[in-house]
Each structure stands twice: as C-alpha cells, then as structure tokens.
Chains A and B, each alone.
Chain A
Amino acid sequence: MYIDIIEKSEIGPYMEEHDFDKLLIKEVKELIKAYDINYDHEEIIPSDDTLANDLWRAGYELILRVGGYNMSTRRRLVFTEEEIKHVLRNLPDKIIIGQGQFQKIMIHRNIEGYEEPIFENGPSGTLVSEDIYFETMIAMAQEDYIDAIGSGSLTTIRGREIKVGSPLEVEAAIFIALTTRKALKMVNKDGLHINDVAVTTPWAKIAAVSNDWGIRKSDSMLVAQMVELKVTNEHIALAKYMLNHGIIVANLMTPIWGGYGGASPGTAIISVAEHILGVLAYGALKHYLSLTHMLNCNNTGRETLWVISTVGQAIARNSKMIALHDCYCAAGPGTKMLLYEVSAGAITACVSGLHGTGIGSAGGKYPDHATGIEGRLYGEVIKSCVAKLKRKDANDIVKLILKKYEAKLNEVKGVIPGKSFRELYDLRTIKPSREWVNIYNEVRKELANLGLPLRI
C-alpha cells in the first residue's frame, strides 16, 4: 500500500492553522480523560506497562482523529486505520548506519532492553561560530562512547549572517557537511554516521549530499515537524528526495511541554502521535524526540523526563520504530548541573527503550556553548546502564540526581549559560581544560556513589 502524502496534502479538508490547533487541543484533552493518563511526580520512570499501552493507544487515536496539518496547502492530512497499520507493520526494526569499521546496526530497543543503545554526539540545536566549527566537531568526534555525530548550526559564512531561506543556507549546508567529514577524517573515524546538516530550510540540505565529502547513503538528515503535528511541502519534498537517494530520513519532533498539549500527559500523547506522523508523512526510520520545556528549554526536568520515559516505553512496547532521546539541558558547559541533567536523561532513555543523542547544552540558546564532555558522559551512562538497571532502580537513582538540580531549575525558569567552548577547551590541542575535566570526574564519582554502574 502506497500512501500518497502529496495527494493527501492537496485533497485533505481545508482548515486555517489556528483551527487545527484548536481541534488538537480539544482532542488531546478528551484523550487524556478517555485513557486516564496521569502524571505521577514520584514515578518519573514508570514501571507500569498498561500506562505505556494506554499512552500508545491515545497517541494512535490522536492521529486517527486529527492526523497532521500541511502548512503549505492549509489542509489536514487524514489517514485511515488501515493505512496507519500497514505502514507501521512494514517498518524495519533495525537499520544500518555508517560505513566500514564504523558501520553499526541500530535496532528498535525494548524496555530495559539488553541491546546496546546508539549514542549520537554533537552540538545539538546550538549555533557554532565559523572560526571554531572544525575544532568543535573534532571535540565531538574524538570522544569515546559515540556511534554517530551530529552537527550544530553555523552562525556566519565568510562573516555574513545566515538568514533563514537565504541562498547562503546552501553554502552553510556544504560547509557543515564538508567540515564534519573533515573532522571525522582528522580523528580517523571517516565512516562514522553523520545524522544531519543543521540548516533550517529543507531544500538547502540537499546541497550537502555527496558521497565524497558530504552526506552519504550511510548517513541521515533530520526532517522536522513543526509544532505540533505540522509539515510543509518543502519538508515533504526533502523527505522524498532522501527516500529516492536511499538516505535515512530522521523525524525531528520538538513538542513543547506547556504548549498545545498542556502538561506532561497531553505532551506525551502528542509526542507519540508525532512519531507516527513522521512515518506516515516522511517515511522516517529514525525518530528524534526533542521535547522542550517552555521555560527551561530542556527535557531533563521531572515532568519532561516522565514524558521521555513514557513515550519511549509506549513506542518500545507497541511498534518497531527506532526512537532517540534528544537530550536538551537547561545548564551550560562548565557546570556540574549540566552533567547531572545529562545523566538523568541518559538513565531514563536507557531503560525506556530509547537511543540517545545530543547534547543541547543551555537549551541551545548560547552560541558555542557546547563541548564534547557532556556527550562523553551521556554516552558512557546510557551504555553502562544496559542490562544493569530495571526501571524501578533507574527511577530511584534519577530522583536522587534530580535533588541536585531541581531547585535551581525551578528558580531560574530559564537557562544557565555556563561557559563557551573557547573558554573550556584549548583550541590548538582541542583538549578540555583541567577545570572542566575535574568537574566531570567529580560528577562521575558522585554518580557512582549513587549506585550508577560506572567504572571508577
């Protein structure tokens, strides 16, 4: 069965965007009630399988009731149950990423699964300055515990500001792909999977595809959904291009906690629905849950970690989708708090059936506030917890870690910038400063003392 998303975008019911939003809010509220989805602040990582199943059903039903919205044609995308079932049923439960000795099998993970998760490291959602782009990517690529690399956005190209939709985005896409590939070669990891070139305009990404210097068939690129459950013709076109070139489409979702879904239950339902829409509209094989708290711009607080865990579990129990936690933290590099947030996120992802990616330090709000150290810790933690922690144990540890930063999170109601890459790394040797490494070592010890299975 072939779902013609272009046709659906043209013949679906016409609707103004705000009417679609209203419909979504109404249906989500009804579904929270109908499926009795409740948030329990003591169970950040619930061990309740029925909750995961109910959440899946609610998200699935949201797609049936609301579908998606094409902002270009202002039409609602309507799907039949048969279409949804068919597409979900035929998804592969594993994909191959990377090349040569860096080729990895990325599988659909199970709750408390024994399969090692993939970790993709990069300056997620963060602007990186042109003059230190190469050094930043080396800092990310040289880390252990990483299976793939992601890029950050670029501030300027030859000193000129890159505006959204400007042809300079094409040059930016080429620069990012070229520099990331060069960084991989520099650390002898050519062949490692690249997960995206971070430019906003979809068509600009096409310029980055090149088997020699850019995005290869063994790589992927993110195709975003707009908040919430929205697509555009441009994004569909990018996905079509990628499908026809055999490049893995990665579904980027940025649901907002405190937005149309309200608090945790509604946001979780929308998140599940956005996973399904990513398959239906884009043919995605990887799914990035980049949940964002409306104030702290992170997903490592109590309420958002609950969403990450329950959505991960719902996907793991009821589908074959390959899903990742895209870790965004409120604190910036050089702070202990960032490392606590990263650890809580990694533990939650590991036992909830997810792979990991990130890190969006300081919510990705400050240019150059991203380093390799926070990814080092996320990668180590997510891989160390495999087969060693059950959900209940993980919940206990995460609550202990939360005690270390939750008050601060509630107090700032925003992000904590921390320090920039320039301040924390020697740009010549691309080594982290002693100060930053000491903080990292201290936090590792604290985590081990809390019962995390890290080798000290």
Chain B
Amino acid sequence: MFSFIDILKRFEEGPYMEEKDFDIKIVYKNIKRLIKEYDIKYNPEEIITVDNSLADDVFKAGFELALETGIYCLDTKRVLKFTEEEIKEGLKTAPAQIIIGEGRDSRVLYARKIEDSRAPIIMGGQAGAPIPEEFYYQMAISYMQEPIIDAINHGGLAKVKGLEVKTRSPAEAIATMMELRYLREAARASGRPGIHLLAAESSVTCIGDLAAQSEEFLRKSDAHLIPILNEVKTDYDRLTKAITFKIYGGINVALVDPIIGGYFGGPEGVAIGFIASYLMSRIIYQADYYIIHPIHFKYVSTSVPEGMWILNIVGQAMARNTNFILMGDVWTSNGAGSYEIFWEIIANTITNVVTGSHPLGVSATNGKYPHASGLETRFMGEVAHASTKLKRSDANEIVKTFLRKYHPKRTEKPNIGKVFPELYDVETIKPKEWWLKLYEKAKKEAIDHGIKLE
C-alpha cells in the first residue's frame, strides 16, 4: 500500500497537464471509448438489472479508466497514474467490514452483496443540507431517537450565531465544532452516546475537519467525507483531510458524486467513472467506506431513473468484484411533509439495498431546505429491511411502479413539504399527528405493493 508521502511525491512528479486537457483529452475521450468498447447501455426499463455480465463489464471498464486516466491534482496540475498492481493492491487491502461507533452503539458495517439477506446498516440524517442552528439539536434527536437508525450523517451549519460560514474562513472551524457539539449532545440525550457519526459537514475545506479531530468532537470511531472532485480530481485540501484523519485513527469515507451530463457523459459514463474513482480513492485517501451519489444535472436527486440505474449498476459491479463497503444515497426531490417523498424513498431505497449498498438519507429536497425529519428516515429503514427479502427482478418492477408515481411530474415540480419545526413538536421531539398519519398511509401503500414491512 502507498504511504501518504509516496502519494504526495507522485503528485509532484507526475505528468504536467492543464485541467481542461485532462477533462477533455483524457477523461472524456477515454470514457467515450470505454462505453463503446464494453458496450455499456443504460436501460430505463431495467433500473435494477439482473445482467451480471453488464455489472462485470462496467467494473472492467472502470478499472481500465483508472489505469488510463489516473487522478489529477488541482494544486500541482499533475496527474498521478497507477500501475495495475497498485490498483489491485488497493482492492486486496480494502476492509470487507469495519466496526463503527462505540460501546453498545457500535455496529458492524460490512460490504453487502447482491440480494444480500442480511440487515443493512441504516445511516440517517439530512446529509448535505444546511441546517439552521435554532433547531439543529432537536432535529438531530429526531433521527437518533429512532432505534432503526444505526449511524448518523446529518447536515452542517451554514451560520453560527448569525455569522455566515464562508469557505476557508475560521468560521468553518467554529461551525464544525458547533455541529459536532450539537450532535454529541443529541446522541447523549437520545441515550446513544456511542452512535457512529459521519460528520464535519459544516466545512468545505480541511479547516473544520482539523478543528474537530478530538474525542470531544469527531472520535476515532467516527468518520468524515473526503470528496473526489469532479471528475477524477483531488487537491491538497482533500488530501490534508485524508492524511490527518487517518493518522489520527479515524475512518475515511470517499464521497464520489459525479454529474450525469458532465465530463463522464450520460449514465453509462458516470457508472464507469464511479468505479475508477473508488479504486483510486482507496489508494490516495485510504478510504474505508464509500458513498454512491450520482447527481442529475437537472433534477439533482438520486431517485430519478438515471440516478437509480447508476446506483444499481455501480453497486452490483462493486459487490461482484470487490470487498468495498458502499453507502447509497437517498436524495429526494420532494420534502418531508409531502406524501410524494415516500414514493421516492421506496424506489431509491429498494434499488440501493438489493444491489449491494446500505442506504444513507433521507436528504429531502436534495438537501436544499431543512424540510426533513427522523420519521421519513424511519420509513427508509423499514423499507430497507423489507428489501432484503426481494430478488432483483421483483425489485425492479416495484421500483418502476413507484417511479411512475413521482417522475417526471413531482421531480419537475416537487412538493417541498415543510420545515422541521412544522413537522415535529420541537419540545417533545415527537412527529405531529398529521405527519404521522401520512407515514402510516405510505406504509399501507408499500405493503399493498408487496413490500413486506414488518
């Protein structure tokens, strides 16, 4: 395995290249070639495919892409290229299971297989959303008090005591420490002091992550996100995050969130790009687990057909060919408080769980507004557990049925629902009666469609 010193040296010594050339001459060109060579085709009728050879071809194409392109460093303008042996070494050393959290709240996070009957780990929270400080604590409790939720990935603070958190300002340090303080207090108040946190979301740069590396804030049993920049790029900031947190003893999580319609092209190219990004993030970030988050250029949400097809094929490709632990995002266009959100959750969650990833969400309104709560994540958890009884072909039919209910009508014009204090009584932190009734109704509808909710 590479040391971080080796990686930094290679980023200084690799071939020099302008970013634009890397994007067009290397990434775009190779992706186009590989899609054709491996005959990768997106099929909206098979959101969840049963074709194992397609999954294997996507993996092979992704492996080749990693070999051909390498990864670009924005600061040095140089490309780090890997040999086949080096990538294989990363595959060999990837942990198939890790222990997250502490004490009675610890869990075994493991690499899921296709149609895996084991209970998935449920990671709850409105990941990626800016959450107002005034109800951050109560909102966090709304997730942590749900016993079905095993781990937390909640949003960050965009403002602290009225101060806007600007990128690369010291406010990032303050905001991240505050975020962790609220999360820790919420965990304690919920009787789950050791629950695993995937956190430090208030900071874009490494400032917040550095400030939070302590037992008081982000513990060694916790994790933080390190993005692969779009597409197949990194910078010194992300590398600092990875290096310091690994030396501290914590858990690194690679966030891969390419844009459908970007330099990777359509769903086929994005799927290939995902594989390459994972293989390389294992080496440069020493990542322990990985997020699948395809971003649709128009709808953003992961619950649209292209997004779910990517979740499906990347999940299956990785499950069949590696031991990597994947968390599949559940990002919905509709907000909590709407009925439509439940349809999106059903389709998106089933896709993730049946094809080899654990579900992470629900990031309602695509993380734009704090229109989210613990209740719809409870629903996500229940659907996830029921999904372990589904085969891919049956799951595909259910997913398409629900997809038709919300797409494109409610992804074009989503029902953004309501803000957290309108969904929950913020004193008792209990869901309001009307919101609970919508949830019960959605459960009934899911059961009527053959989803075996307990």
Residues of A within 8 A of B (CB): 2, 85-87, 89-96, 103, 105, 216-218, 220, 240, 242-249, 283, 285
User: Of all chain A residues, which has the CB nearest B221?
Assistant: A217
Say whether, besides A89-B454, A90-B148, A246 and B108 are in contact (CB < 8 Å): no
| Cβ distance A363 to chain B, nearest Cβ, rounded Å | 31
- A89 vs B147: C-alpha distance in the bound complex, in angstroms? 9
A240 contacts which chain B residues (CB < 8 A)?
191
- Interface SS, A side: mixed
A247 close to B145 (CB less than 8 A):
no
Partner of A217, one of B99, B103, B108, B188: B103
Q: Is B315 an interface residue (CB 8 A)?
A: no
Q: Is B104 an interface residue (CB 8 A)?
A: yes
Partner of A103, one of B99, B192, B193, B194: B99
B193 contacts which chain A residues (CB < 8 A)?
244-246
A220 contacts which chain B residues (CB < 8 A)?
104
- Interface SS, B side: loop
A218 close to B103 (CB less than 8 A):
yes
- A220 vs B103: C-alpha distance in the bound complex, in angstroms? 9
| Cβ distance A177 to chain B, nearest Cβ, rounded Å | 16
B145 close to A94 (CB less than 8 A):
no
Q: Is B119 an interface residue (CB 8 A)?
A: yes
Say whether, besides A103-B99, A246-B103, A96 and B145 are in contact (CB < 8 Å): no
Partner of B104, one of A89, A90, A95, A105: A95
Encoded as 1 (CB less than 8 Å from any A CB) or 0, chain B from 137 to 152 comes to 0000000010110100
- Starting from the known contacts A85-B454, A96-B99, A247-B104, 5 additional A-B residue pairs (CB-CB under 8 Å) come to A216-B103, A240-B191, A245-B103, A246-B194, A285-B104
B103 contacts which chain A residues (CB < 8 A)?
216-218, 245-248
A244 contacts which chain B residues (CB < 8 A)?
188, 191, 193
User: Of all chain B residues, which has the CB nearest A220?
Assistant: B104
User: Of all chain B residues, which has the CB nearest A218?
Assistant: B103
Partner of A243, one of B99, B108, B148, B191: B191
| Cβ distance B169 to chain A, nearest Cβ, rounded Å | 34
User: Of all chain B residues, which has the CB nearest A285?
Assistant: B104
- A247 vs B192: C-alpha distance in the bound complex, in angstroms? 10
B147 close to A246 (CB less than 8 A):
no
A283 contacts which chain B residues (CB < 8 A)?
191
A92 close to B148 (CB less than 8 A):
no
Q: Is B10 an interface residue (CB 8 A)?
A: no
User: Of all chain B residues, which has the CB nearest A320?
Assistant: B119
B99, B103, B145, B191: which has the most chain A beta carbons within 10 Å?
B103
B148 contacts which chain A residues (CB < 8 A)?
89-90
A217 contacts which chain B residues (CB < 8 A)?
102-104, 194
Q: Is B452 an interface residue (CB 8 A)?
A: no
A246 close to B119 (CB less than 8 A):
no
A89 contacts which chain B residues (CB < 8 A)?
148, 454
User: Of all chain B residues, which has the CB nearest A248?
Assistant: B104
A246 close to B102 (CB less than 8 A):
yes
